[in-house]
Amino acid sequence: MAALTLDPTAVRARFSSLRSGFAFLDAPGGSQVPDCVGDAIARCLREASANMGASYESSRRVGAIVAEAEANAAAFLGCEPSEIIFGPNMTSLNFTLSRTAGREFAPGDEILVSSLDHDGGVAPWLELAHDRDLRVQHIELRPDTTLDYDDLAAKLSERTRIVAFAWASNAIGTITDAARVCELAHSVGALAWVDAVHYAAHEPIDVGAIGADVLLCSPYKFCGPHLGIAYGRSSLLESWRPYKARPAPTSPLGRRFETGTLPYELLAGFNATIGYLEEIGGMAAIVPYERSLGERFLDTLPSSVTVYGLPTLEGRVPTFLVNVEGAPAAEVATALGERGVGVWAHNTWYSLNLYQRLGYEGDAIRIGFIHYNTADEVDRLVSELAACAAS
């Protein structure tokens, strides 16, 4: 069977936001959205501005949107629709679900978090630990920024309740061996809790294959609306008592953990996002194309640009943290923006423990390629970075 190929020209024609020629190389902070997604959101507001449970047509349309969204999310993550939970964003969902999981924790119980993590995957556990007298430890990193699995194994104990980790770093792109971490967590009876927000935009997901108990992601990273999606293993969800209003629906199973009215128009946009990804070839086409962009970037960078983290595409997604020799990151980002190239400068990138390990002071520039970017945009970026170094 021939490998699927992605046609960047056809892809870009579906995005009004890409027609100006501005190079959006900031996908880790939020991707551009194809027109079909905005159209679906607007159509929902016009034709399905109602709530579920009524006997009239617009309410039935809302119910169909939600059911389709659950089915699409389940197919995207490799689970059952009843194991899907929607929320306003990953961080809000993580606070909600971590608090739910922690109902049965006892003082002195332990939670392990990764030093690669975005704080959205750490702060909920720190707050829970503060309230319930729990212990939180960070899993160390190897010098190359990959997770130290030996350190993880050494820190596991019979008191470990959660092993929470980012599947891919939002700052430097490093990938964690999720199946290995889940297996280690289960070896002491702990739950494997996966932040897949950054990973989901660049690689396929199968929660069963890695053994995840809980996994969270956000469609705004893969050309969808701002929304949070969580998977929870059904036997686990059945054992939890949710925080919610008492008359609210309790089936399907995942809906027990959804608080308040869902953003139905964003779920309609999410359905359009999944349709769009399928139409362009899905991850089978996206992954090799994005990797080719990342390889082109690394192969052509001048020596005046420092890349933090792994030096090749092996073991990472095409997200890069860099600095230009002799040029402050904020000034570089501003100069590039004025020349039609969009990147960001920041200090921690919300990865507080990782920041302490990377060795730069102040800010660094984050660059992220996604499937609507082109080889020409990569070349423009490299040329502009070289010009910043020269000036």
Q: What is the pLDDT of residues 271-329, one digit of tens each?
A: 999 999 999 999 999 999 999 999 999 999 999 999 999 999 999 999 999 999 999 99
What is the C-alpha separation between 171 and 317, in angstroms, rounded? 10
Q: What percent of the chain has pLDDT over 70?
A: 99
What is the C-alpha separation between 269 and 150, in angstroms, rounded? 42
Q: What is the dihedral of CA 107, 179, 287, 270, to 10 degrees?
A: -50
Q: Which residues contact 171 (CB under 8 A, 6 or more apart)?
A: 28, 118, 319, 321, 349, 350, 351, 354, 355, 366
* pLDDT level of residue 390 (50, 70, 90 thresholds): confident
What is the C-alpha separation between 339 and 156, in angstroms, rounded? 50
Predicted confidence (pLDDT) per residue in 347-389, tens digit = 999 999 999 999 899 999 999 999 999 999 999 999 999 999 8
pLDDT at 76 over 80: yes
pLDDT at 3 over 80: no
What is the C-alpha separation between 335 and 339, in angstroms, rounded? 6
pLDDT at residue number 314: 97
Within the chain, which residue ranges are assigned CATH 3.40.640.10?
38-277
Residues in the chain: 391
CB 27 within 8 A of CB 219: no
CATH architecture of the domain formed by 38-277 = 3-Layer(aba) Sandwich (3.40)
Q: In 3D, which of 138, 142, 198 has the Cα closest to residue 166? A: 198
Strands 341-342 and 344-346: unpaired
pLDDT at residue number 1: 35
CB 183 within 8 A of CB 152: no
Predicted confidence (pLDDT) per residue in 367-376, tens digit = 999 999 999 9
pLDDT at residue number 2: 43
Within the chain, which residue ranges are assigned CATH 3.90.1150.10?
8-30+282-390
Strands 364-368 and 319-324: antiparallel
Mean pLDDT on 120-126: 97
Residue 74: enclosing H or E segment and its boundaries? helix 57-77
pLDDT at residue number 113: 98
- Look at the domain 8-30+282-390 and name its fold: Aspartate Aminotransferase, domain 1 (3.90.1150)
Q: How many CB atoms lie within 10 A of CB 7?
A: 12
Predicted confidence (pLDDT) per residue in 252-268, tens digit = 999 999 998 999 999 99
pTM higher than 0.85: yes
Strands laid side by side in the 344-346 sheet: 305-308, 319-324, 364-368, 344-346
pLDDT at residue number 391: 79
